[in-house]
A and B are shown apart, each in its own frame.
Chain A
Amino acid sequence: GAGVSQSPSNKVTEKGKDVELRCDPISGHTALYWYRQSLGQGLEFLIYFQGNSAPDKSGLPSDRFSAERTGGSVSTLTIQRTQQEDSAVYLCASSPDRLAGGREQFFGPGTRLTVL
């Protein structure tokens, strides 16, 4: 298959706990993106990976957030010491390559994170 997959689809956690969110991009896509969509809000860029280049972390809201991409494929977004304001839907997207800026990003279904 085919599209971008994310797991878990839903995650409920207690304030202060760490969470890990996973993204499997479309095979062969070199670019991978993480976004956050809070209730009633637009999409907020978090981080971008392109091949073996250093990631663009400019959107990460605090040092509690980190992400890695292993082997140029699967990515994990980690949130440490979660806070209630971290509650949102976390979206992952992939796209074929960096230079073709006109190409679309393909989005996964998202992980809905609820911090109690």
Chain B
Amino acid sequence: GNSVTQMEGPVTLSEEAFLTINCTYTATGYPSLFWYVQYPGEGLQLLLKATKADDKGSNKGFEATYRKETTSFHLEKGSVQVSDSAVYFCALSDRVYASKIIFGSGTRLSIRP
């Protein structure tokens, strides 16, 4: 079945550091891929998405590229801010029969000033 494996946290970085959170997936067919973010005390919200191979999703300085050959969707940001502290979830859904999204276990990111 479909599954998502992401980097375990917590991850602690200094402000302006480069961020990578790894995510790999297992899926039949051609899933859509997502990164969701959950800021402290807030609900889950979509950060970015990519729906086909080689697509790059981007938002708020974050980027992730859909790599079919490596079944990966790593999240990157060139210079993190304290306000990026949150829990990040990698996820996938079947592109045609989207009965549910399969989420990774989440990675907690803390940014030091």
Enumerate chain A interface residues (CB-CB to B < 8 A). 31, 33, 35, 41-43, 45, 48, 50, 56, 59, 91, 93, 95, 98-105, 107-110
Enumerate chain B interface residues (CB-CB to A < 8 A). 31-32, 34, 42-46, 49, 51, 89, 93-106
Q: Tell me if A101 and B32 are in contact (CB < 8 A).
A: yes
Question: In the complex, what distance in Å separates the CA atom of A50 from the CA atom of B94?
Answer: 15
Residue of B nearest to A55 (CB): B99
Which listed residue (B34, B43, B51, B93) contacts A108, Cβ 8 A? B43
Closest 10 CB pairs of A and B: A101-B98, A102-B51, A42-B105, A102-B32, A101-B95, A107-B44, A43-B103, A104-B46, A109-B43, A45-B100
Which listed residue (B32, B34, B43, B104) contacts A42, Cβ 8 A? B104
